[in-house]
Copies of this chain bind each other. A is one copy, B any other.
Amino acid sequence: MEKGAERARPKPLRLAVAPEADEAVVELVHQADAVVVDLADAQALAWTAWTDLASFPRSLPASVAWVQLPSAGIERWVEAGIIDRARVWTSAAGVCAVPVAEHALTLLLTGVRLLPESLRAAEWARTDLLPRAGTLGGTVVGIVGGGGIARALIPALTALGAEARVVNRSGRPVPGAAETRPIAGIGDFWEAVDHVVLAAPDTPDTRHLVGAAELDAMKPTAWLINVARGPIVDTEALLGALDSAGIAGAGLDVTDPEPLPAAHPLWGHPRAIVTPHIADAAMTRRGFRQRLADNVRRWTAGEELIGVVDPARGY
């Protein structure tokens, strides 16, 4: 607080940090020349708890014009009725895009190159695996969602000789994608691509976007990768497609239900690779801090904030 005062900036941002003002965040706020204040005096609130929605103030002071939320996906905040239209809300959408894209690539490569079979083997199964192991080179990878994950994933796919086709809301071209089409005109997307990566927010529009018909349309050699949100895929339909070899396999970092119960048939399924929502490994907290620092700087400079939530869209 002193630091902001010493520099005598005309209007340092008065920011409340709750429910826990951890040292790293406070240090970062000071570096951004803002001051940490109590909520009653605050112009903005940085909420630092990923899972604690219950202690979020039911009524914010009218002075709070901006709230920075900690997570990328904010559907639970929307469902809880926390997000109002009285102020600007920003999410951490995009900060984890690079590690999540890397995890999507990991799951896709792991599937295409039959790593689960190699890991189960206890002998040199070259004759069996060599003719069946694939490569991403020369393939077309369809990405549902044109946000930060797609933008981080596309250069890596391109470097491996794969082509990316993106489906997003607007159809506005995503840099590096060979094609971008709007979800309303998704057409033959499922059958045209070699693999599908789901990297879209969980909204009423995307819930169960991948069902029996879409899985049936996909190539039998296709891998379905989900690093977004479990409910985008109809789990029962997916199990059907995996059991009948309708697709080559599924790499899932998110599931529905989540956490996946111990007895669920996806565990140990020969065509499923399940990781327990770790795509954003180690980056979550760091990413939030970076986003907060960036937005504090932007607020102070009068620039547009990043990650502004549209309550109507739910992300």
A280 to chain B, nearest CB (A): 9
Give the number of copies in the complex: 2
Interface string of A116-133 (1 = CB under 8 A from B): 101101111110011101
A293 interfacial by beta-carbon distance below 8 Å: no
Which residues of the other chain, B, contact A133 by a CB distance below 8 angstroms? 278, 281-282
Interface string of A145-179 (1 = CB under 8 A from B): 00000000001101111000000000000000000
A195 interfacial by beta-carbon distance below 8 Å: no
Report yes or no: A109 in contact with B102, Cβ–Cβ below 8 A: yes
Which residues of the other chain, B, contact A116 by a CB distance below 8 angstroms? 119
A208 interfacial by beta-carbon distance below 8 Å: no
In the complex, A51 Cα to B315 Cα: how many Å?
A: 57
A36 interfacial by beta-carbon distance below 8 Å: no
* A111 nearest CB neighbor, chain B only: B106
Report yes or no: A123 in contact with B278, Cβ–Cβ below 8 A: no
* A103 nearest CB neighbor, chain B only: B113
A23 to chain B, nearest CB (A): 19
In the complex, A156 Cα to B283 Cα: how many Å?
A: 20
Report yes or no: B161 in contact with A159, Cβ–Cβ below 8 A: no
Query: Given A113-B106, A136-B102, A282 and B119 touching (CB < 8 A)?
Result: no
A88 interfacial by beta-carbon distance below 8 Å: no
Interface string of A249-288 (1 = CB under 8 A from B): 0000000001110100001100001111110011100000
Query: Given A115-B110, A131-B282, A134-B282, A276 and B125 touching (CB < 8 A)?
Result: yes
Main secondary structure of the interface of A (DSSP, over half): loop
Which residues of the other chain, B, contact A122 by a CB distance below 8 angstroms? 262, 267-268
Report yes or no: B278 in contact with A130, Cβ–Cβ below 8 A: yes
Number of chain A interface residues as a range? 35 or more
Which residues of the other chain, B, contact A193 by a CB distance below 8 angstroms? none
Which residues of the other chain, B, contact A98 by a CB distance below 8 angstroms? 135, 137, 160-161
Report yes or no: A106 in contact with B102, Cβ–Cβ below 8 A: no
* A257 nearest CB neighbor, chain B only: B124
Which residues of the other chain, B, contact A126 by a CB distance below 8 angstroms? 259, 276-278
A70 interfacial by beta-carbon distance below 8 Å: no
What are some 26 contacts across the A-B interface (CB < 8 A)? A98-B135, A98-B137, A105-B109, A105-B160, A106-B106, A106-B109, A106-B110, A109-B110, A116-B119, A118-B273, A121-B267, A122-B267, A122-B268, A123-B262, A123-B267, A124-B258, A124-B259, A124-B260, A125-B276, A126-B259, A126-B278, A130-B282, A131-B282, A134-B282, A156-B159, A158-B159
In the complex, A278 Cα to B283 Cα: how many Å?
A: 33
A153 to chain B, nearest CB (A): 9
Which residues of the other chain, B, contact A281 by a CB distance below 8 angstroms? 113, 130, 133-135
A113-B281, A155-B159 known; 20 new pairs, CB 8 Å cut-off, are A102-B113, A102-B136, A102-B137, A105-B160, A106-B115, A116-B119, A118-B276, A122-B267, A124-B258, A124-B262, A126-B276, A129-B275, A129-B278, A130-B277, A130-B278, A130-B281, A131-B282, A134-B282, A135-B281, A156-B160
